[in-house]
Structure 1
Amino acid sequence: MNNKIAGHRFLAFGLAVSLTVTGITGCTSKQADTAGSEEAAQSTAKEQVLKGHNENEASNLGAWGRAMGAVLISINDGSPYYFGGYDTTDANAKAAKSILRSSWNISNRKQLLKQIDALYNTGSRTDYKREAHDLNKMSKAQRKKALKQVSGDLKTHYDNLQYIWDTWGNKGLLAWDLCRISHLAQWGYIADYINLDEAQAVLEPAALRLQKKFDNWDDVVINWLDGYAYASSVPIRSVEETDYTSRKNVYEKLVADQKESDPLFDDNLFHTEIIPLGTITYDSLMDEIKPKKTARTKAVIKKKKQQGKDSEEVTQ
């Protein structure tokens, strides 16, 4: 098989796998990010004035979560300064449940926690890394020939893939996955699948990883935007107005409008110790989704332990 054909088949197969996986997990961003947005906007009374930050003040996880989800909350006419984005009304709960169900296939607490755990541990970045590594195994000449044979969304996808890899390397899509944990946590809170403290507690590992890998919110948001472009086949370097540029404009306006006394995107968070809630932890919440050991499983484990002890006695 010649290199041109091999490269072309690889590209087409890789994109098909990528889109299949993201569609299953609710990560295709045009669907996952914007589905139900009109319903959310209609169900939240714009005349409502949401006071304060609606967060546990003994911790700074609320501040992390508000910044991580601010752009999408703003797009959906919520208040990014208010954890959850909206008031906890029946209408808003219904809208949040609709978003979670239609975009993420989440209909209950357990499914919400499972998806949060999946975003933290794997997310879209697992397939991105595999795809980028496979693409870069090809020589520069092979890639150039293969990419000449594709067009439209397929070409945009691989142009984005190469750009993100060149820009971020293994860190590509990290903020895309971790910031969406904040989206799920806040929607899950409004949907009444988790309470306010739980919605902040699930953010702790994501906040710790963002703090370790980034130094400021500009880089976090650009990494998130690049992930959105990768998942949606929206060109990153387009000179035209796109969903990518409109989201970037939302972020820039939020930054420009924030008050120095109460910044939404506070870069000091990256240099300040993350303070847990103390009331509940990420691990305790994830214990709920771990498979429970049946009586049969416990008996097998007990038997294996006993066999191990018997083996030790024989060899001694």
Structure 2
Amino acid sequence: MKPEGIITAMVTPLDRTNSIDLVVTKQLVNHLIDKNVNGLFILGTNGEFHVLSDLEKLRFAETVINETNGRLPVFIGTGGNSTDHVVSLSKEMTALGADALSVITPYFVQPTETELMNHYFTIADANIAPIMLYNIPKNTGISISSNTVRKLAGHQNIIGIKDSSGKIDNLKEYLAVSKEQNFSVLSGSDSLILDALKIGATGAIAATSNVLTEIDVAIYQYWLEGKVEKAQIMQNSIEEFRRILTLGTIPSVLKAAISYQGINVGDPRLPVLPLSDEVLSEIAQTMDYYKENFSFI
């Protein structure tokens, strides 16, 4: 399986009791599939993996996998600080039917390059679904070096990397060191979707595609069709939404925007607090702007 296209970094719907809302989860899955995304990426940063128990993760993943029913690939975040725990959870997700697993770097502590490579090799050697590396140094305090990617990319069970560094040079380096391998590089920074495609990335794992689904899909489709100017217009158009994302802690603004569009995914879990009426009003105005100016939204 080759990770490619627009893969939605899906949020985790919660109900009024702060439990995972499996009914709304199914609604969101079908909505995204109907809008022609190329994959679903669950239990990532915007999926609040860090505040969910393993039992909740497994129940949520099972629901997404079953509802998707093979219509597109499901990527599941299983990363954490303990190598043994990552292996254990990855085996359980593989048994549920995950198409691939996303493994974020350990956080809080900063392992050496040797320790990080050993972490990933140990996980990849387990009897699990293919894994993708996940680089998000702003959140974890550690960046996966191009040298590490060079060595990991040759492993038959390591199929790619999601890079959320926000640096195009990082993507270029990853592409350069893995070009001889069957290894995909995807942008995890929504502002770089088109730029990443231009230099050889296979796609993007995009949080904005929860909301601006048609726009993000259009960036990729226009790129495939060679309509670069139209792809650039679509890419530029997401900046207003990216601006309002800074008005709250991840994923509060994203979840509020999805709910405003009619799929009530609830609030994030504590410590992230509900948004103020002022911010909610700005989100509403922004979503109305997209609805008025992009008829397919």
For Structure 1 versus Structure 2, the TM-score category normalised by the shorter chain is: under 0.3
Higher helix share: 1
Higher relative contact order, chain-length normalized (CA < 8 Å, sep 6+): 1
TM-score by length of 1: 0.23
Higher strand share: 2
Larger radius of gyration: 1
